[in-house]
Amino acid sequence: MEKERKCLECEEPIRGRADKKFCSDYCRNAYHNKRNKDSKNFIRNINNRLRKNYRILDSFALKDGKTRTSKNRLIDKGFDFDYITSLYTTKKGSTYFFVYDLGYLPLDNDYYMIVKRG
């Protein structure tokens, strides 16, 4: 006699295909959401941080694709220098830090040039 299969989420009996593991889409989604919760929270927190940094850079009005601001002004708006998406080093050796298509270049005296990659 075949052993009765139970849903991995709610443990209700399963009817249908022999390889079915869940009794419903709800249970399948709930099971996988619980299983992936920690990694998803980690990723969500990073994405939220990148989104906030992007909004801050985007809040500066650019003239000819660039502008200048102070480090303190960025920090006051909540900018976190630890979260970027890419680096770009010019032939002259200057390194731009990008959050998607908006970037910044450290200048002298705690100033930064904000640029938009075109």
Average pLDDT over residues 101-108: 97
Task: State the angle between helix axes of 25-35 and 37-58 in degrees (0 to 180), rounded to the nearest 10.
Answer: 80
- Interval 33-56: pLDDT, tens: 888 777 778 888 999 999 999 999
pLDDT-based confidence at residue 2 (cuts at 50, 70, 90): low
Distance from first CA to last CA of the chain, Å, rounded?
68
- Interval 8-22: pLDDT, tens: 999 999 988 989 999
- Interval 69-99: pLDDT, tens: 999 999 999 999 999 999 999 999 999 999 9
Count of Cβ atoms closer than 10 Å to residue 55 Cβ: 14
Question: SS3 of 45, please?
Answer: helix
> Average model confidence (pLDDT) for the chain?
93
pLDDT (0 to 100) of residue 42:
86
Query: Is residue 23 pLDDT above 80, yes or no?
Result: yes
State pTM to two decimals.
0.69
Specify whether the CB–CB gap between 68 and 114 falls below 8 A: yes
Query: Is residue 1 pLDDT above 70, yes or no?
Result: no
